[in-house]
Each structure stands twice: as structure tokens, then as C-alpha cells.
Structure 1
Amino acid sequence: MSTIKYQKIDPNNSNDPIDKKLYKYLINDFRKGYIEVTDKKYVFTQYYTEFIEKIENFEVYDTDIFVMSHPKTGTTWTQEMVWCIGNNLDVSDEYLYLRFPWLEGTTQFDLRDASNALPSFFYNEFFTNSLEYVRKKPHPRFIKTQLPWDLLPRQIRTGERKPKIIYVYRNPKDTCVSFYHHYVNIKSFGGDFNDFVELFLNGRYSFGPYPAQILSVFQEKHRNNVLILKYEEMKRDLNAVIQEVCKFLNKNYSEADLVKLQKHLSFEAMKTNKAVNFDLLFGEGKFMRAGIVAKKHDN
């Protein structure tokens, strides 16, 4: 039995105005309540409780490659880079969420009583039973996760298995703005930007608080199977980051090939690539909005 502790967030009991905003603005047909997990008070949907044991005991292999992140910190960009480098620079037209699935994706979307809450492509195994979908993927498996280190499968935390883990993080201001627009685009937030900023700063949203997640990974940076990337460095010198990832994954490519990869990973190319720009869900041009660093934010 898992030793991971959690408790329900109940604004009626806590009488906390932030918790009341959480339940006012972030409750919908597929997210019916929230919990806080461990003494770091990571916030997840209450549906996550049904998967804690399964994630804790999920079998991991040394050949697995994880991209780990907080939402809206360059996850998709990093996934596509890692996929290409790990697959002999194969530029695949298969949807990224199929070839690089989200381990705990199901925990975020309780669709059992919400048959029309989201676009139809959500109602497939990669979302409705993501753990099983990941389990059956051919090896080496490429896996996305947005869990903090403390909640990764036990075999990773103990070092029993040593998959490659590439963590990407981003300036919290840009993360907050991008996350707000993400919620608005999927019609999952009922407040305004100021309301969202308040929730973000207090860590009261799914996968929050952001600082706790970052620290959970940085405390493990001494492990030789962990590589930490910064979104701003990817924007500043993508070629250097590509070479760093190649070295981490023990891959060697010609300079000409790396130039082609860099072009493929440019924001302009990513935005028009239907395999990674999820316009099925967000509408044309909405999933990848700006892709810039430290932009002036309008509220």
C-alpha cells in the first residue's frame, strides 16, 4: 500500500478564500474536486486518488526516456526535440500525444460522466487509460510526465531503475501567463487573469505549486540519469541545448543534420506542424501562442 498521503481540499472547512476561488473557477464536468498531496501540498484533481497506487507501482525500464515538466514550460517543444534525437532524427507525422504519451493524463480528466465535455479525440485510451497505453508502448518508450519527483513511480525515486529523465522549466511569469491562456482555451477557467495569478501564486491549481515541483527535481540533479534544461536557454541557443541532449542520450549526428533539426524545432515550424500543435483541441493557432521569453504581459 502506498505511503503517499493526501487530503481533500474543502473550502467549506478551510474557509480559505483561495480555496473558494479554486472551487469557484476550476470545477467543471471532468474536474469535480481537488486534493493536496504530501506535506508540500501538491494539488491534483480528486480523480488522481484512484491512480496513486498504480502510478507508485508502475513498472519502469532503464530504456525509458521521460520528459518531465510543469505545464506550459516548453513541454511539447522538449518532447519533439527528444523524440527526434532519440529516433535517429525521425520527423514523425504521428501525433505527439500518441508516440510520446502522458503517463498520468487520465488522472486529469474524469470523463466517466462527462461524455461531451471535451473533443472526441480525448475519448481514446491514451487519455481514458493512459497508464495502460504507456505500458503497452514498444521499447524504448518515450513518456511525458508533469508529476513532481516525489510522486514519480517508486522504481525511479529509489534508483532501482534508471530511465533517462529530461526536466524542463521556465520563468514563472511566462509560465503563469501561458497556463492562464491554456485554461481559457479549453474553457476550464471561469475567472479573469488576476484571479488566475492569485491561484498560481498560492499553488492552488492542478500540478501546483510550481516552486515545489522545481525544487523536487533540483534536489535530484546529482543523479546521472537526470538532465535539467531551461526554456530560456533553448530560446537563446537551441543548438547548444540540442548537443547537450544528444550527449545525454548517447547520440551523435552530423552538423548538417543538427542544422535541419534546429530548423524543424523552430517556433515557426512547430506552430504549423499538426503532429505537435494540437489544434484539434484548441483551434487554429491557439495551442502555441507566443513562444517568447519575458514578454510584456497584459492583464
Structure 2
Amino acid sequence: MSVQPSRVEARFQLAAVMVEEGNYSEALRTLEEALMLAPCDLNCLALACRCLEGLGRHAEALAAAERLCGLDPASTFLALREVFHCRPDDVFVVTFPRCGTTWMVQIVVSCLFGPRANYEDHALFLEGSIASSASYVRKLEELPHPRVLKSHVPADMYPGLAHGKDSILQSYGKVIYVVRNPKDALISLRHHHANNQAIGWDGSWDEWVDQWISGQRSLEYGGSYFDHVNGWWKLSQHHPDRIRVVYFEDLKVPNRRTLDMTSFFQRVCVQADLSAEIGAVASFLGLSLEKEALAEAGSSSAHM
């Protein structure tokens, strides 16, 4: 017998009203009825996560979030918004795709773990890891301090937002958001999609520009580049002590770039002293680095 969608939707809407009133127990019971009818309903699962968190049943909320991500990896941000708890020393490095995420992660890792530290040993690509295995929803809680989390999450889905709030942050966690010239971001993402066999973009440049500007090439990250940057800029204005906006171009020295063609992807290797930028990041993170350490970290990050 087929399930009438209206019956599931009606229960979801009723549960949503109950959640607004703080009646998590009744809301959860109503959602469980809906999930009996439609076990894979993503909206019901996400709201169930919020109810379980509201009732202090965090382990069960994590299990529901893991199930949600397993059913639909695109729901990763939705799930994390409901169950993620920031620690005092959490650092998020966030960008729109192809805007210097890995570079800034290496700078942060150099600040926190020393100039010779490898970012792959200390940082986690949030949505990428969960897409590969939904169990990472749980494993996030097992990561050692401090957690360095790399992400392309849009501002309104940032896991560090207070649960159920749009612009209020949790008590802990800091964000470094990197902005890049949109023309360069457009070109870089186009090459990435063309060279990635799993994507295999082979359309024209005109098609790419239209789709990139409209956000069709980045729907999983909330839409267009401009919406992404605007959302984070506005959030940073509300929380300047917790969200630092950095410009990709400030990390470069014009006319002193070389392309490393030996790697499996092209990346810009800057022959420059980044100690000033690293010092600013360290200060934002509440760290104090000696002059010699800054110089060594700058040299290390510049040659990554």
C-alpha cells in the first residue's frame, strides 16, 4: 500500500510547531509516527535530531544524523547543524570552492602544531569525510584537540551556529573565511570540474560562466559564489571576534609565482615570507609565536 505524502507532511508540520513551543517529547513521538510511514524522509530525520538534542539524548541524535547523512550525503550540513557542538579550541577554515582552503589550512596547522606539521595529519575536510563515510558524524567527537575543520559550508548552515538559530553562534569555535577574486574562482573551479573524472565537465565556457554565476555548479554549497561570500561577510560583521575574513590575494606576492606541475593537480607555490599573515592568524587564534617561529612557519607555508 502506498503512503500518502500528505500524512507524512502533516505530521512533520505538527512536529515543527511543537518544536517551536519547546515540546520536544511530543514532537519526537509525532516524527516517529511519520517515520513509520516514510522511514527515509529527510526532513523528519533532521527534525528528529533536533528533538533528541533538545531532550539531552545526544548519542541518539548522532545516530539519527549518521542515518540522515548515509541516506543523503547532501544533507551533511543539515545534520551537523542539529548535532555539532563546538569546542573552545575548534578552528574552521571555510571558503567557496577553489578559493584557498588548503593553503589557509596549512597556515593554521603551522600556527597550532608547528611549521613542519602536515595539514593532512591535523585537519579534516568536513563534508568530504562524511560523504565518504557517514560514520564520520560520530568520529568528529573523537578527534583530538584542537580540531581544524576544512569546509565549504554556507554561512546559514555553519555547524557552529546555535541550534535552531540563524545568526547566533555557539559559545565556542572560530572561523577563518577566505575570499578570492571571483574571476579566478570561476576559472579554477571550471578546470577542477573538467579534470575530475567523476564530474567530467565538457561544456563551453559560455555555459560554464552562466551556470557558475547562477550557482548551478555549486548547489551543494548553498548556491552562487556571491551568496556564499555575502552570507559569511554578514555573519562576520555580527561576530568580528569569532570570524576573520582573509583575502586570498593578500597571501600572494605578484610576479613571484611558480606552477608545480609535478603534483597531480596544479597549485600555486608562492616563494614569499608569509610570517606577517601567519602572525595575524596566530593572534586571531589567541596564540603568541616568537619571531623565529613566525619566520620558519612563513617559509614552510609558502613552499607548500
Shorter-chain TM range is: 0.5 to 0.7
Which structure 2 segments of 5+ residues have no match? 1-11, 17-71, 254-272
Cα distance, 1:79 vs structure 2: 0.1
Larger proportion of helix: 2
Q: Give the distance between the partners of 1:177 and 1:61, measured in 2 at CA.
A: 36
**Matched residue of 1:189: which SS?**
coil
User: In the alignment, is the contact (CA less than 8 A) between 1:104 and 1:145 conserved in 2?
Assistant: yes
Deviating above 6 A after TM superposition, structure 1's stretches of 4 or more consecutive aligned residues are: none
* 1:124-139 map, 5 Å: 125=133, 129-139=135-145
User: In the alignment, is the contact (CA less than 8 A) between 2:115 and 2:301 conserved in 1?
Assistant: no
2:282 is aligned to 246
Q: Give the distance between the partners of 2:229 and 2:77, measured in 1 at CA.
A: 23
Matched to 2:85, the amino acid is E
2:217 is aligned to 205
Q: Give the aligned CA root-mean-square deviation in angstroms.
A: 2.6
Structure with the bigger RCO (C-alpha within 8 Å, sep 6+) is: 1
1:72 is aligned to 98
Aligned partner of 2:116 among 91, 95, 101: 91
Go from structure 1 to structure 2 and tell me whether the alpha carbon gap of 1:129 and 1:161 turns closer, same or farther (over 3 Å shift). same
User: In the alignment, is the contact (CA less than 8 A) between 1:63 and 1:141 conserved in 2?
Assistant: yes
User: In the alignment, is the contact (CA less than 8 A) between 1:103 and 1:131 conserved in 2?
Assistant: no
User: In the alignment, is the contact (CA less than 8 A) between 2:124 and 2:148 conserved in 1?
Assistant: yes
Q: Give the distance between the partners of 2:224 and 2:158, measured in 1 at CA.
A: 16
Q: Give the distance between the partners of 1:106 and 1:264, measured in 2 at CA.
A: 26
Q: Tell me the number of residue pairs that the alignment of Structure 1 and Structure 2 aligns.
A: 207
* 1:1-299 map, 5 Å: 47-49=73-75, 52-87=78-113, 89-93=114-118, 96-106=119-129, 109=131, 125=133, 129-153=135-159, 154-155=161-162, 157-187=167-197, 188-194=199-205, 195-206=207-218, 207=221, 208-222=223-237, 223=239, 224-236=241-253, 238-266=274-302, 269-270=303-304
Max radius of gyration: which structure?
2
User: In the alignment, is the contact (CA less than 8 A) between 2:115 and 2:293 conserved in 1?
Assistant: no
Matched to 2:234, the amino acid is Q
User: In the alignment, is the contact (CA less than 8 A) between 1:180 and 1:193 conserved in 2?
Assistant: no
TM-score w.r.t. the length of structure 2 is 0.61
User: CA offsets, 1:32-85, max 9 Å, x none?
Assistant: xxxxxxxxxxxxxx6413662344321222221111111110100000000110
Q: Give the distance between the partners of 2:125 and 2:141, measured in 1 at CA.
A: 11
Q: Give the distance between the partners of 1:141 and 1:50, measured in 2 at CA.
A: 18
